[in-house]
């Protein structure tokens, strides 16, 4: 098959369905072309080695990539973020209609919603069916994360989502909860499939040696590691509260790896409240994050308490499981169900200090052999149910079915 991957974000940006997805499709015998933007996420600045221009064609590991101009931005301004989304969608629509090869299938990655709109226009002009991969449930996520609170605008976005759902040929979601919501919103059940995300396996398997300063930081400690975006949705104030509560237990420390809109405020809180068992490590490539995860004793997933987050699986879950370490899942619903099914850790109530603290101490008191078994369970479950190879095989079956309908 000839597959057009339409996504606003692509390598070298951090993305769930980027180069690894394209290469695995190619490895399984398919021709792939990528239509994307110039790399600027998450910092909002064009990456070194790239210069913003109307378009650029390149090859990465044998994958043909067409990059189109956009307004680079990813800050807290909703207006600027919207302009970033619209600028890419408009240019992707034009280049998708006039400058890409004829494909059998359009794979469109959501978010943002504007990618779905662009895909629909390309479909109508070029008669190519669309498989729409929903990673965030809009407008629900916009409201839950605080990005947008205007109810009228949220309603408009919801209506546009419904139109996109109508015109795409099949929808893939990352968890059963998303499928349930779509069915409640009148999307036919037969039009929706669940394919769990995988992680960046190549980066994890090519982990770079951990810097000496981080080795010394984490050596001979029970390290509770949180890796990823540090924003409002992660609600990490409660984790700092837990850290304060167990500060007298000198063997335990919290390590936050990454960055985001809340990083500086949380660091300020550390200083103001003299919290000494929490360390922030700046954002780093996944190949380096793997080194941190290898030193972890317990890997933490935490999101603020919101009904939306109970029907999603945070993306870090798969990387945590693949690395083979125990998990503390402080998110209810689908994500907790995976940890329970895999028997690879403990669950806690989101934003509940006592619940999180109890789960941490429960894991802490286990023997090294028991913790190792939890990690082994995590890795085995990932390999059998969530891996890149398994996920791409599921996508290909859907692509073939949609193509032949």
Q: Per-residue pLDDT for 82 more than 90?
A: no
Q: What is the pLDDT of residues 346-400, one digit of tens each?
A: 999 999 999 999 999 999 999 999 999 999 999 999 999 999 999 999 999 999 9
Work out how many domains the chain is built from and give that number.
2
Same-domain check for residues 234 and 362? yes
Q: How far is CA 375 from the centre of its chain?
A: 21
- Cβ burial, residue 101 (10 Å; 0-12/13-18/19+): exposed
Phi, psi of 132 (to 5 degrees): -105, 115
Q: What is the pLDDT of residues 342-356, one digit of tens each?
A: 999 999 999 999 999
* Predicted model pTM: 0.82
Same-domain check for residues 35 and 82? yes
Q: What is the CATH number of the domain that holds 338?
A: 3.40.50.2000
Q: What is the pLDDT of residues 106-157, one digit of tens each?
A: 999 999 999 999 999 999 999 999 999 999 999 988 887 777 888 999 999 9
Phi, psi of 255 (to 5 degrees): -125, 115
Same-domain check for residues 163 and 219? no
Q: 123 lies in which domain range?
A: 2-198+387-404
Same-domain check for residues 122 and 151? yes
Contact 74, 41 (CB under 8 A): yes
Phi, psi of 151 (to 5 degrees): -65, -35
Same-domain check for residues 98 and 32? yes
Q: What percent of the chain stands above pLDDT 90?
A: 80
Which residues, including other chains, have CB under 8 Å from residue 216's CB and lie 6 or more apart? none
Same-domain check for residues 335 and 368? yes
Same-domain check for residues 256 and 332? yes
Same-domain check for residues 169 and 30? yes
């Amino acid at each position: 098959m000839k597959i057009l991957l339409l996504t606003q974000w692509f390598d070298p940006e951090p993305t769930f369905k980027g180069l690894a997805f394209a290469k695995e499709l190619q490895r399984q015998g398919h021709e792939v072309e990528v239509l994307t933007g110039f790399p600027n996420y998450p910092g909002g600045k064009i990456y070194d080695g790239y210069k913003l221009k109307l378009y650029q064609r390149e090859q990465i590991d044998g994958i043909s990539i067409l990059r189109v101009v956009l307004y680079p931005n990813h800050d807290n301004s909703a207006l600027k973020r919207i302009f970033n989304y619209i600028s890419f969608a408009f240019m992707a629509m034009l280049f998708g209609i006039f400058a890409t090869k004829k494909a059998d299938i359009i794979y469109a990655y959501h978010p943002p919603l504007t990618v779905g709109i662009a895909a629909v226009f390309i479909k109508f002009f070029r008669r190519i069916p669309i498989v729409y991969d929903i990673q965030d449930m809009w407008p629900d996520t916009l409201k839950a994360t605080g990005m947008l609170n205007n109810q009228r605008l949220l309603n408009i976005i919801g209506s546009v989502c419904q139109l996109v759902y109508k015109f795409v040929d099949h929808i893939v979601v990352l968890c059963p909860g998303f499928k349930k919501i779509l069915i409640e919103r009148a999307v036919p059940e037969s039009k929706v499939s669940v394919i769990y995300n995988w992680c960046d396996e190549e980066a994890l398997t090519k982990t770079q040696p951990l810097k000496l300063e981080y080795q010394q930081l984490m050596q001979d400690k029970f390290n509770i590691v949180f890796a990823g975006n540090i924003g409002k949705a992660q609600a990490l104030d409660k984790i700092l509260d837990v850290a304060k509560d167990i500060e007298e237990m000198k063997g335990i420390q919290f390590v936050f790896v990454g960055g985001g809109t809340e990083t500086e405020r949380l660091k300020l809180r550390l200083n103001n409240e003299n919290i000494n068992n929490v360390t922030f490590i700046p954002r780093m490539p996944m190949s380096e994050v793997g080194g941190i995860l290898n030193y972890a004793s317990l890997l933490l997933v935490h999101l603020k308490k919101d009904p939306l987050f109970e029907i999603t699986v945070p993306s870090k879950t798969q990387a945590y499981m693949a690395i083979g370490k125990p998990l503390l899942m402080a998110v209810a619903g689908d994500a907790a169900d995976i940890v329970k099914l895999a028997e690879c850790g403990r669950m806690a109530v989101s934003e509940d200090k006592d619940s999180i603290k109890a789960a941490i101490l429960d894991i802490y008191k286990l023997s090294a052999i028991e913790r190792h078994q939890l990690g082994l369970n995590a890795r085995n479950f990932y390999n059998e149910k969530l891996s890149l190879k398994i996920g791409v095989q599921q996508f290909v079956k859907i692509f073939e079915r949609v193509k032949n309908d």
